[in-house]
Amino acid sequence: MLQYPEQLILWSDDSLLAVNKPSGMLTLPDGYDRTLPHLRSILEPTFGRLWIVHRLDRETSGIIVLGRSADAHRHLNTQFQEHRASKLYHALVAGQPTWERYTASDPLRQDGDRRHRTVVDPITGKPAITGFRVLRRLEGYSLLEVAPLTGRTHQIRTHLKHIGHPILGDPLYGDPTQPCHALLPRLGLHALSLTLIHPKTEQPTTFEAPYPQDFTDLLEISSR
């Protein structure tokens, strides 16, 4: 458990916490081992009772918001359910896209194979839309801005696998013949920003999470 959990906090007020979640940390309790630390168990001893509004995959780093009251939770939860909260991710992906911008709209079905992965399924899949924009082209991989317009499980990872540019270090959807980069031995996906209506002020508010050090190191060495 973190010695100083407040080091994760980007913003704190009476309504919410904005947290920069490290890669490897659970958002919710593990279904098999309830003793594993997760965001609430780490933060609640310092900040009191918290409500989970949305989640990030364990391997994904970046911005996540937690409610600090039942009313704030309801307000925030409604925004996510109605797709009024907008999220931007940065992803390090294999290869060089032939496009500068691309929108993936392939329907997705959760738990679609023996590895319990989300799969593209044009017949029974649910609508899923993800926008991509190339930010930088590097040697053997690229940095993309990713804007998911829907919130399906593993949506970004599945769409990128389907279009031939899996995220670096992805143990489920990546190329098993491609070794992890030495500087980034985990999923190269970072939730950069989140824009929502603040439950108390009713004003649009954007929270942004800086890159973790491993993400920054890989981009810096690739620019030399």
pLDDT tens-digit series, residues 134-173 = 999 998 899 999 999 999 999 999 999 999 999 999 999 9
| CATH at 80 | 3.30.2350.10
Whether 64 has a pLDDT exceeding 80, the answer reads: yes
- What span, in angstroms and rounded, lies between the C-alpha atoms of 222 and 172? 25
* Catalytic-residue membership of 111: no
Question: What are the DSSP E strand ranges found in the chain?
Answer: 9-12, 16-21, 51-52, 61-67, 86-94, 101-104, 108-109, 119-120, 130-137, 141-148, 189-197, 204-208
Residue 84: closest CA among 107, 61, 53: 53
- Mean pLDDT over the full length of the chain: 92
Reported confidence tier of residue 2, pLDDT bands at 50, 70, 90: low
> Which residues sit opposite 197 in a β-bridge?
204
Check residue 7 and report its DSSP letter: G
The dihedrals phi and psi of 52, each to the nearest 5 degrees, come to: -75, 130
Domain count, the chain: 1
Q: What is the mean pLDDT of residues 36-52?
A: 93
Report the share of the chain in percent with pLDDT over 90. 80
Catalytic residue, from 57, 106, 170, 214: name it.
57
117 pLDDT band, cuts 50/70/90, is very high
151: its two tokens: 């919130």
Say how far apart CA 114 and CA 132 lie, in whole Å: 28
Could you tell me the residue range of the domain that residue 60 belongs to?
5-222
pTM of the model: 0.94
Looking at residue 224, its pLDDT comes to 62
